[in-house]
Amino acid sequence: MALIVQKFGGTSVGSVERIKNVAKRVIEEKENGNDVVVVVSAMGKTTDVLVDMAKEISPYPNKREMDMLLTTGEQVTISLLAMALMEEGYEAVSYTGWQAGIQTEALHSNARILNIETSRIENPLQRGKIVIVAGFQGITADGEITTLGRGGSDTTAVALAAALKAARCDIYTDVTGVFTTDPRYVKGARKLLSVSYDEMLELANLGAGVLHPRAVEFAKNYNIPLEVRSSMERTTGTRIEEEASMEQNLIVRGIAFEDNITRISILGMPNAIGSLSNIFTLLAKHHINVDIIIQSITADGNTNLSFSIKSQDLKETLEVLESNKSTLQFEDIETETGLAKVSIVGSGMVSNPGVAAEMFSVLSQNGIQIKMVSTSEIKVSTVVDEKHMITAVESLHEAFQLDVGEPSTI
């Protein structure tokens, strides 16, 4: 008998009928002789509806109260799924994140899991019950309810799999696996049989919404076998593992993209040791994530600094910088919105020089201006105008032959 963790996303539990379908998938795993822990998200667009309601009251709602509000969505799902399983004659029990012992850092709206006290889950498992846990949420040492950020249910599932030493973690979603890029935008996108932890982590961080980055981190750190599968179709999904098979010897395995990017340029800073440290330490204290960074020295010996952020963080970033202008000693700030990030990812890039040059050439041939660049061993990211985002993705997908061959299914 093995322990299996299953996670079902919002679309998979978007209606009572779909919750009943999820119950059948859970029962199948139970009937295979396994213990089962199920992690679920809020139903359908419930979280979006709750966010919209809050913003009708306040354009910038208090983060603590937002966590209190948003965690109610998953509570609805866990109870309905438990009822559906009981109706089929199976013993089940549902727990909120804090009831399940998920302890997080004291950060509202984007907390990290610090520890999981598993006894509350293990006891009913030993009695043969199916345990259902609300994803996306936990509790601090002081008893404050927190959320893990959008997509945090993936993190809950993989963290539970690690803490409970599960045999594997299956992520059920509304797609059949991990694709070379988003099939909703690129018709030639193909499903991959397998992706390495490192490739998946880059793709997730760069905008691929199929898995939450922290979930991939947990899986890699604890060597948890992952499979992304469809909750609607009975097909093999995509395995996330240490070493992925090199399909068709592809150098680039996937293309990720993300809109709503803003470039901030801080002008006229003193060219002094510690200037950059002061700025990024300050932003980190306010939990503002900075992505691509470019520094240049001006003719008069000062420093100009540009970096990219999510557009939703623009207001807070400007407030933090302006309120510390005298300390940071810069002259001016410029911003550019309406940008997007397009990235190519593949472990084969390590041993194949010229991939970045090919990417830049393809974008140039399509009349797309590159505004910022960032590289690592297995990825190249570019910032372009948002209006060119899909054209960039389509042209790169074709240029790196990601649309060649039959769909990767078994």
pLDDT in tens, 206-254: 988 888 888 999 899 999 999 999 988 888 899 998 876 555 567 899 9
Both 150 and 268 in a single domain?
A: no
Residue 207 lies in a domain: no
Which of the listed residues 130, 146, 174 is the one where a domain comes to its end?
Answer: 174
In a domain? residue 170: yes
Q: Is residue 230 part of a domain?
A: no
Mean pLDDT on 299-311: 93
Residue 350 confidence class, pLDDT cut points 50, 70, 90: confident
pLDDT (mean) for 306-327 = 96
Query: At which of 152, 174, 196 does a domain end?
Result: 174
| Model confidence at 368: pLDDT above 90 | yes
Query: Do residue 384 and residue 268 come from a single domain?
Result: yes
Q: Is residue 65 part of a domain?
A: yes
Statement to judge: residues 38 and 155 lie in one domain: yes
| Together in a domain, 263 and 370 | yes
Residue carrying the six token digits 């018709």 = 187
| Residue-level pLDDT at 10 | 93
| CATH code for the domain of 378 | 3.30.2130.10
- Do 390 and 272 lie in one domain? The reply is yes
- Pairing mode of beta strands 168-173, 3-8: parallel
Name the nearest CA neighbour of 145 among 49, 61, 71, 219.
Answer: 71
Confidence label for 351 from pLDDT (cuts 50, 70 and 90): confident
Q: Is 168 a domain residue?
A: yes
d(CA 382, CA 312): 19
- Please state the domain count of the chain: 2
Q: Give the mean pLDDT of 110-136.
A: 96
Q: Please tell me whether residues 167 and 306 are part of one structural domain.
A: no
Co-location of 142 and 267 in the same domain = no
Residue 367 sits in which domain range? 255-399
Mean predicted lDDT score pLDDT of the chain: 93
The one-letter amino acid code at 249 reads N
Are residues 259 and 169 part of one domain? no
Give a yes or no: residue 186 inside a domain.
no
Asked whether residue 240 is domain-assigned, the answer is: no
**In this predicted model, what pLDDT tens digit does every residue of 386-402 receive, in sequence order?**
999 999 999 999 999 99
Residue 374 lies in a domain: yes
Contact 396, 360 (CB under 8 A): no
Q: CATH no. for residue 55?
A: 3.40.1160.10
Residue 216: C-alpha distances to residues 70, 177, 196, 237, 267 (Å)? 23, 15, 10, 16, 37
- pLDDT interval class at 409 (50, 70, 90): very low
Do residues 170 and 272 both lie within one domain?
Answer: no
Do 70 and 53 touch, CB atoms closer than 8 A? no
- CA separation for the pair 244, 247 (Å, rounded): 9
> Pick from 158, 174, 190: which residue ends a domain?
174
Contact 242, 345 (CB under 8 A): no
pLDDT in tens, 159-197: 999 999 999 999 998 889 999 999 999 999 999 999 999
What does the pLDDT read at residue 407? 39
Whether 96 contacts 132, CB under 8 Å: no
| Whether residue 37 sits in one domain with residue 162 | yes
395 and 260 in one domain? yes
Mean pLDDT of 337-352: 92
Tokens of residue 11, six digits: 């679309």
**pLDDT at residue number 410:** 26
pLDDT at 406: 41
pTM of the model: 0.83
- The whole-number average pLDDT for the span 50-69 is 96
